[in-house]
């Protein structure tokens, strides 16, 4: 059964260390995609995340992240995740593997996933929540811009923590 991502209730968050002293957080909005669920199990997913929606609550930083130094949003307006497998670890916990494409560069990733039980919302739609967490090395996608600062520290860490909270729905009837 095919389900649709509810963009209004879905967000992709990220966190990176800044100068090895603080964590800077941001998010992407307007996420779209389709998810296939059979017998309560996730069997396929395709998710698009607009790079143009990056928001760190700092307009100058957001502009830099959209530039060719990072996402090159003008030429690569979307990141894409395509699921290849979902391995149930226990209960509602899974290892979700797939291919992540950023800037036309695709690499396999594996994320921890938690999938909620389905329920019927007040409007008669069936809904499920999916939470994904993991870590990525941004250099794998040619996101290599950096500046060396005092004491051998870099301005931006290579490791990026990601967290996606998605609400998906399927109309009843």
Q: Enter the DSSP assignment of 151.
A: G
% residues pLDDT > 70 (the chain): 99
Cα three-residue angle 104-106-111, rounded to 5 degrees: 135
Query: Does the reported pTM lie above 0.85?
Result: yes
Distances (CA, A) of 132 to 93, 112, 123, 144: 10, 6, 26, 24
> Domains in the chain, please, with CATH?
2-171 (2.40.128.110)
pLDDT (tens digit, 9 = 90+) per residue, 1-56? 889 999 999 999 999 999 888 999 999 999 999 998 887 678 899 999 999 999 99
Q: Where are the alpha helices (DSSP H) in the chain?
A: 59-66
Q: Closest Cα to residue 100, out of 143, 156, 129? A: 143
Q: Enter the DSSP assignment of 75.
A: T
Long-range Cβ contact pairs of 94-100 (< 8 A, separation 24 or more) = 94/42, 96/42, 96/45, 96/132, 98/45, 100/136, 100/141
């Amino acid at each position: 059964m095919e389900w649709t991502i509810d963009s209004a209730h879905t967000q992709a968050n990220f966190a990176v260390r800044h100068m090895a002293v603080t964590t800077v957080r941001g998010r992407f909005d307007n996420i779209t995609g389709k998810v296939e669920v059979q017998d309560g199990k996730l069997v396929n997913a395709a998710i698009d995340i607009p790079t143009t929606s990056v928001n760190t609550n700092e307009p100058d930083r957001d502009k830099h992240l959209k530039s060719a130094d990072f996402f090159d949003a003008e030429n690569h307006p979307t990141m894409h995740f395509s699921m290849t497998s979902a391995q149930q670890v226990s209960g509602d916990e899974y290892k979700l593997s797939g291919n992540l494409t950023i800037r036309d560069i695709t690499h396999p990733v594996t994320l921890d996933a938690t999938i909620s039980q389905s329920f019927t919302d007040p409007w008669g739609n069936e809904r499920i929540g999916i939470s994904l967490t993991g870590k990525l090395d941004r250099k794998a996608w040619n996101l290599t811009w950096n500046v060396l600062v005092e004491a051998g520290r870099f301005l931006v860490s290579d490791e990026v923590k990601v967290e996606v909270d998605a609400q998906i729905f399927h109309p009843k009837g």
